[in-house]
Every structure is written in C-alpha cells, then in structure tokens.
C-alpha cells in the first residue's frame, strides 16, 4: 500500500511540474509539497548564456560539475599553493614514482631515445653509446611505425605492439590472446574510461566498485551519468574481499531498480594494498558468471608485490583454468600500464585493455569510439613494447635490466615495511601491511576534540587532519573520505614511493606531527 501511495505521489508531482501547477499530495495524512521549480521560474538549464558567458560554471554539463577526484582535490591544491610560497612538499598523494626520485630503467629509455631521434642510428659512434639490442629494437619499431613517432598509428595502437602485448599475456597466463581485442591507450585510465563510457547508458546503469576505491572509478562513473554501487572491503581481515558483501550490495541495487552491469576489482589493491588469492579470483569469476556482470580487472600493480604467500595471478588465467562455462562466457576487461611496476613511467602514458569474451560487435563500437582520438601516443606505445617484451637472457642489456628491476622491487618491499611499521607504532593508528601496489591506508582514531575542531572549521575530520599534517610537515596525502570508508572511521592514503633515505625522514616527521596533534586535541 505504501509503495502504491509513493508511486502516485511521484506521478502527481511530475504531472504538476509539467503543467505548471504548484503540486501537493497527502500520504498518511501528511501534506507534501513539490520542491520542483515551476515553469515560470527561470532555470539555468534553459539559458544559453549567463553573466555574458556561454561556458558559465552554472551552465555546464551537470555530470561534469558533480564529478569529484580526490587525488587532485583540496589537499593537492593547497600543497601546490604552499610549494609556490617556498615550502618543501613531499607529494605522497599520487603514485608518481619518478617525481619522488625513482630512476628510469635504462633499456626502455635507450630504445625510446633512438626512436624519438632516429638520426642517432646513423651516427658513427652509435654502437659505442647504445647496446646492440637497444639499437635492434629501435630499428624494428621504426620499421613498424610508418612515419616514425610523429605519425598516427591505428586507433587501437600499432599492430606490432599489440602483437607483443598478446604474446606477453600468453607467456604469463598460458592462454591465447587476440591482438585485435587489445586496445593500447594513453595510460590504463583512458582504457577504463573508454570501457565505462561504452557500458553506461543512463543513471540506472550501475557498476560495483570496492570501497575504499580508486577515485578514477567514482569520477568516471559520475561523468558518464551512471551509478556507483560500493561493496566494502573488510579492514579487520586485511582488506579482505567478501562475496556475501557483494551479494548484499547487488541485491540492494537491484531492489532500487539499478541495472548492475560491471564489477571492478583492483589487484593488488589501491588504496588498500591487499593481494587477492586465487580463491578470491575464482569467487569473483563465478559471481560474475551467475549474475551476468562484466568483470573489470584493474591489474596495473601486478609487478608490485611485497609478500610471497600470494603472488600475482591474473583473472584471465584463473578464468581459463576454471574451465567451462566460465572460460568462454565470463566477459572480462583486463587493464595494465607502464605507469606502475618498476618502470613507473607515469608521464609517458602507455597502457592497454584486453577484452575477453566481449561481443565482436561491442568491440567494433569501442574501436569506433577510440578512433575519435585518432591514435594513442606513440612514445607510450614504445614504452609498453619494452615492458611486455624486455631483454632476454643472453642479450647485452639483460643483466643490467634485471638488476635494476630487482633492486627497485627490493627497495619497495623495504619501504612498505618502513611505512607500515611506522604507522603501527603510533597511538591511535592501525595499518594493514602493504602487500602490494604503492600505498598505505592507515586508520586514524581521532579524539573528540579534534572532531569538534574539524566541524567548527567546516571540514570532514580526515580532511582536517590531513590539512594540519600538510601545513605542519609539508607531507601531502589524500583523506580516506576521497576513497570511501566505513561510517565513523577515518583514514588517509600515502604512497610508499619516497626513496629510502627520504622515507625515514618522512616517518619521523609524521610521528612527531601525530604525537603533537593527539596531545593538542586530547
């Protein structure tokens, strides 16, 4: 009966708004009045310009205005302002390895340099400066990139590089890969947005996303007019994944009339740093099969693993090993990039998505949309080529390449322990170990006086804490509210990327700040 009354109420209010009547309705004896603007009122959406401007902030696409991206939000903007004023800032708000002192791997940069400046190949001393395998790779790439790096490629990316990506996947997983179902993009983020844009048709279309989540997903889903449905990771179980929690989120979304079309998981996790087990992946794949949902496997941190119990295994491999009906029926989108791992080439913007079991007609439609941008950037494609097809044993560059990678991974593992141990030594701070990826996500138990001070300042409590941390120490982090968190809990995300000599200084500065903060507000 209540549902019928609610339906009549909504219908009446919409009829009233369309006819210009000031509408009201009675439900259970309570008089309700429409809050909708009446037609005689001037609405921004009907205006062509405002204050002399067509592109006025009040006249923009509603989804653009409502889109939020915490990683480059209030804290980042304040950090930039302080930097311009001369304060030293440690930017741990974003996974940007080279900005925090990581050195580029030698072989990919040598190949990139030769491809960007091909006249070097004709220099009489080129073989003294560059190893033979870098020279050979550059010549092979330039032979495939007609017109060199300054010319457009196929909108999916150069066929040679797509073939190399397919061979990389086959070697990693033991499963065939179709180069025509691989799209090279300007970083994995572009690939994610390309797929979400194709998937989301209207606001009833929903995507399941882990909470805490990487804001790329909340921002993109909002931008394309869809709905994010969060499923919570269990912090008490090391940010564990629960199929029961997914079923709860799915059930509630469907009861609200949502059409859940996609399921995102990030392995290793961002911002939470957990690594999924093969059993977790099997559960995800079975869930997607049973519920007819597209799996979106964000696997950009697959090289960044700092424990030995759960090495990275791709969703595609697990899906194939499960056999039928999963192998041929689960729709899977797998993402990877050159921005993470030991390469850390964020600025070169190279990434890909592999589409498994996607309808060929849908692949063609995505290809059409990719064509709007004409071509992914060529330098990013070359960086990706070097990532998926590195020097082999016996090649001149092999020893140095493997040494550089091993050294960086070992250092990242040590830094993961430094940060986690530092957080857990502090009063009121708990932090699960960073098993993978590039971040720690500690929970901060804030005292009541700090909560009151935050409220008085008009800030969320975690934003208040992070702003104080920034102002006092120059450490730029991201509040947990930017990723989503359980009600009544407060977190922050920091990278583990500052170099080891800087990281010890980072831990010391954070420890002093936190003790002073707790003393001030206790």
User: What's the pLDDT score for residue 226?
Assistant: 95
- Looking at the predicted structure, is the pLDDT value of residue 96 above 60? yes
Q: What angle do CA 401, 404, 407 make, to 5 degrees?
A: 145
Q: Which of these, 182, 305, 293, 286, lies nearest to 243 by C-alpha position?
A: 286
Partners of 208 in the β-ladder: 229, 263
The pLDDT confidence band at residue 93, using thresholds 50, 70 and 90, is confident
Task: Find the helix packing angle between 461-473 and 500-521, rounded to 10°.
Answer: 120
Q: Is 54 exposed, middle or buried (0-12, 13-18, 19+ CB in 10 A)?
A: exposed
Q: Which residues 6+ apart lie within 8 Å of 167 measured at CB?
A: 177, 388, 389
Helix %, strand %, coil % of the chain (to 5): 50, 15, 35
Let me know: does 475 contact 203? Beta carbons within 8 Å: no
Mind giving me the DSSP string for 144-195?
Answer: HSTTGGGS---TT--HHHHHHHHHHHHHHHSS---GGGEEEESSHHHHHHHH
Q: Is 367 exposed, middle or buried (0-12, 13-18, 19+ CB in 10 A)?
A: middle
Query: 90 in helix, strand or coil?
Result: strand
Let me know: does 476 contact 90? Beta carbons within 8 Å: yes
Residue 47 backbone dihedrals phi, psi, to 5 degrees? -90, 145
Q: How far apart are CA 9 and CA 23, in angstroms?
A: 10
- The arithmetic mean of pLDDT across residues 402-410, rounded, is 97
- Looking at the predicted structure, is the pLDDT value of residue 411 above 70? yes
Q: How far apart are CA 158 and CA 115, in angstroms?
A: 14
Q: How far apart are CA 273 and CA 416, in angstroms?
A: 10
Residue 500: is the preceding peptide bond cis (ω within 30°)?
no
Q: How far apart are CA 472 and CA 492, in angstroms?
A: 16
- Looking at the predicted structure, is the pLDDT value of residue 8 above 50? no
Q: How far apart are CA 507 and CA 512, in angstroms?
A: 9
- Looking at the predicted structure, is the pLDDT value of residue 391 above 90? yes
**Both structure tokens of 473:** 């120490």
Task: Give whole-number Cα distances, 272 to 33, 59, 234, in Å.
Answer: 45, 37, 10
User: What's the pLDDT score for residue 63?
Assistant: 81
Helical ranges in 330-483 per DSSP H: 360-371, 378-388, 398-424, 448-456, 461-473
What confidence tens digit (pLDDT) does each residue in 175-212 have? 999 999 999 999 999 999 999 999 999 999 999 999 99
User: What's the pLDDT score for residue 22?
Assistant: 38
Q: How far apart are CA 314 and CA 282, in angstroms?
A: 11
**How many residues in total does the chain contain?**
522
Q: How far apart are CA 105 and CA 400, in angstroms?
A: 9
Query: 20 in helix, strand or coil?
Result: coil
The pLDDT confidence band at residue 5, using thresholds 50, 70 and 90, is very low
Let me know: does 192 contact 220? Beta carbons within 8 Å: yes
User: What's the pLDDT score for residue 71?
Assistant: 62
Q: Is 364 exposed, middle or buried (0-12, 13-18, 19+ CB in 10 A)?
A: exposed
- Looking at the predicted structure, is the pLDDT value of residue 138 above 80? yes
What confidence tens digit (pLDDT) does each residue in 315-334 have? 999 999 999 999 999 999 99
- Looking at the predicted structure, is the pLDDT value of residue 24 above 50? no
The pLDDT confidence band at residue 55, using thresholds 50, 70 and 90, is confident
User: What's the pLDDT score for residue 38?
Assistant: 42
- Looking at the predicted structure, is the pLDDT value of residue 296 above 80? yes
Q: Is 327 exposed, middle or buried (0-12, 13-18, 19+ CB in 10 A)?
A: middle
Cβ count near 434 (within 10 Å): 30
Q: Is 171 exposed, middle or buried (0-12, 13-18, 19+ CB in 10 A)?
A: exposed
Cβ count near 331 (within 10 Å): 19
- The arithmetic mean of pLDDT across residues 35-46, rounded, is 54
Q: Are strands 478-479 and 24-27 parallel, antiparallel or unpaired?
A: unpaired
Q: How far apart are CA 212 and CA 231, in angstroms?
A: 9
Q: How far apart are CA 58 and CA 453, in angstroms?
A: 32
What confidence tens digit (pLDDT) does each residue in 329-357 have? 999 999 999 999 999 999 999 999 999 99
**What proportion of the chain, given as a percentage, has pLDDT over 90?**
77
Task: Give whole-number Cα distances, 437 to 96, 122, 271, 304, 483, in Å.
Answer: 12, 41, 8, 5, 16
Q: Which of these, 261, 327, 263, 330, lies nearest to 298 by C-alpha position?
A: 263
Let me know: does 76 contact 68? Beta carbons within 8 Å: no
**Both structure tokens of 292:** 């007819």
Q: Among all chains, which residue has been given the structure tokens 């279309």?
A: 205
Instruction: Return mean pLDDT, the chain.
Output: 89
User: What's the pLDDT score for residue 25?
Assistant: 30
Range of weakest confidence among 27-31, 59-63, 253-257, 283-287: 27-31
pTM (2 d.p.): 0.87
User: What's the pLDDT score for residue 34?
Assistant: 36
- The arithmetic mean of pLDDT across residues 65-92, rounded, is 83
Give the dihedral sign, CA 282/283/284/288: positive
Let me know: does 184 contact 161? Beta carbons within 8 Å: yes
Q: Report residue 266 CA to chain centroid gap.
A: 8
Q: Which residues 6+ apart lie within 8 Å of 421 measured at CB?
A: none
Q: Among all chains, which residue has been given the structure tokens 């490629």?
A: 153
First to last CA, the chain: 52
Q: Among all chains, which residue has been given the structure tokens 């869930």?
A: 287
């Amino acid at each position: 009966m209540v549902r019928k009354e609610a339906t009549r109420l909504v219908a009446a209010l919409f009829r009233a708004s369309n006819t210009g009547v000031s509408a009201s309705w009675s439900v259970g004896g309570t008089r309700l009045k429409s809050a909708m603007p009446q037609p005689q009122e001037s609405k921004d959406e009907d205006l062509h310009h405002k204050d002399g401007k067509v592109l006025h902030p009040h006249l923009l696409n509603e989804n653009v205005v409502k889109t939020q991206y915490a990683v480059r939000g209030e804290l980042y903007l304040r950090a930039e302002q302080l930097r311009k004023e001369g304060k030293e800032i440690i930017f741990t708000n974003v996974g940007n390895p080279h900005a925090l002192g990581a050195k580029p791997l030698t072989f990919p940069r040598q190949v990139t340099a030769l491809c960007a400046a091909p006249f070097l190949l004709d220099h009489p001393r080129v073989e003294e400066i560059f190893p033979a395998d870098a020279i050979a790779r550059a010549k092979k790439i330039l032979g495939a990139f007609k017109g060199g790096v300054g010319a457009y490629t196929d909108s999916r990316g150069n066929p040679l590089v797509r073939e190399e990506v397919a061979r990389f996947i086959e070697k990693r997983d033991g499963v065939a890969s179709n180069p025509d179902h691989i799209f090279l993009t300007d970083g994995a983020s572009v690939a994610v947005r390309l797929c979400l844009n194709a998937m989301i048709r209207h606001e009833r279309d929903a995507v399941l996303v882990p909470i805490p989540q990487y804001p790329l997903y909340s921002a993109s889903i909002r931008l394309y007019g869809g709905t994010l449905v969060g499923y919570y990771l269990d912090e008490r179980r090391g940010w564990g994944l629960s199929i029961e929690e997914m079923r709860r989120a799915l059930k509630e979304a469907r009861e609200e009339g949502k059409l859940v079309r996609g399921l995102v998981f990030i392995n290793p996790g961002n911002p939470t740093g957990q690594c999924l087990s093969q059993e977790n992946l099997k559960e995800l794949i079975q869930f997607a099969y049973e519920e007819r949902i597209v799996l979106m496997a964000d696997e950009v941190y697959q090289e960044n693993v700092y424990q030995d119990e759960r090495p990275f295994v791709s969703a595609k491999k697990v899906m194939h090993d499960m056999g039928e009906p999963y192998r041929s029926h689960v729709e899977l989108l797998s993402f990877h990039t050159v921005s993470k791992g030991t390469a850390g080439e964020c600025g070169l913007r190279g990434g890909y998505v592999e589409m498994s079991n996607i309808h060929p007609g849908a692949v063609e439609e995505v290809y059409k949309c990719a064509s709007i941008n004409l071509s992914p950037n060529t330098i990013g494609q070359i960086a990706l080529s070097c990532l998926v097809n590195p020097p082999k044993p016996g090649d001149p560059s092999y020893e140095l390449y493997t040494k550089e990678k091993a050294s960086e991974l070992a250092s990242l593992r040590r830094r993961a322990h430094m940060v986690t141990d530092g957080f857990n030594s502090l009063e009121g701070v708990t932090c699960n170990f960073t098993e993978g990826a590039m971040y720690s996500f500690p929970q901060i138990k804030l005292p009541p006086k700090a909560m009151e001070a935050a409220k008085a300042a008009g800030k969320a409590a975690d934003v208040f804490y992070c702003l104080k941390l920034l102002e006092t120490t120059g450490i730029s982090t991201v509040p947990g509210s930017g990723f989503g968190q359980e009600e009544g809990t407060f977190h922050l995300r920091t990278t583990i990327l500052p170099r080891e000599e800087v990281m010890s200084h980072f831990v010391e500065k954070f420890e002093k700040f936190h003790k002073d903060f707790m003393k001030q507000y206790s």
